[in-house]
Amino acid sequence: MDATPVSASEKTVENLYFSSGEDYVYKCQMDIYKNPVSGILIIKKLNETTHRVALTSDFGNKLIDFEISDNDFKVNYVIPDLDKKIVINFLKNDFQQLLKKQYPVSESFENAQSKIYLSKTEKNNYYLFFNKENGLLHKIIYTKNNKEKIDFTFEAKKHIFADGIDLQHKDFKINIKLFQITETE
């Protein structure tokens, strides 16, 4: 990361991609240890702190349905094939990181393309990259104990909706790609 420290007035930065009351609907492709899973992922904001996440097969069969916030995780339904503690924990962790909204800023940096904010919690650090041209969040790097764990890359035209999301684990063979589903008019 070729960046220089800067003084920043921001005390908090936000990931607003899942802040709207609208349903977020994505085509989802997951590779979990070389096992591909694809379907439709729906994320709905239930209130200020909680989202409901459901993944259905391409044919509309429910695969998993859970409610998640920073501190809570409740599985409403999961098919037996996915009902494994390791899979549930990955989904819980990944979506808690993805849906996290507020990040207190510890340090600020910038490079040619981005304003970069470091947010530190007890063991976790988040590097949030905001595009200098349009101000949109385009990447979050989640680290734990100073090791890079997950890269979230966003493609977006608006600050409340990511058209594409690529979630890549650094230490496990798990990747999740989400593509906005557009309605033809």
Phi-psi category of 100—alpha, beta or left, where left has phi over 0 and alpha has psi -120 to 50? Answer: beta
Stretches where the chain sits below pLDDT 70 are 1, 8, 182-185
Find all residues with CB under 8 Å of 57, minimum gap 6, and list them: 39, 40, 63
Q: For the purposes of burial, counting CB atoms within 10 Å of the CB of 89, is it exposed (0-12), middle (13-18) or buried (19 or more)?
A: exposed
Report residue 86: phi and psi, to 5°.
-65, -40
**Domain ranges, residue 27:** 4-180
The pLDDT value recorded for residue 4 is 79
Domain count, the chain: 1
What are the structure tokens assigned to 161, written together? 């909706």
What are the structure tokens assigned to 157, written together? 């035209």
Long-range contacts of residues 162-168, Cβ cutoff 8 Å, at least 24 apart = 162/17, 165/17, 165/26, 165/98, 167/94, 167/98
Find all residues with CB under 8 Å of 1, minimum gap 6, and list them: 109, 111, 116, 127
CATH number at residue 154: 2.50.20.10
In a domain, 185, yes or no: no
The pLDDT value recorded for residue 131 is 95
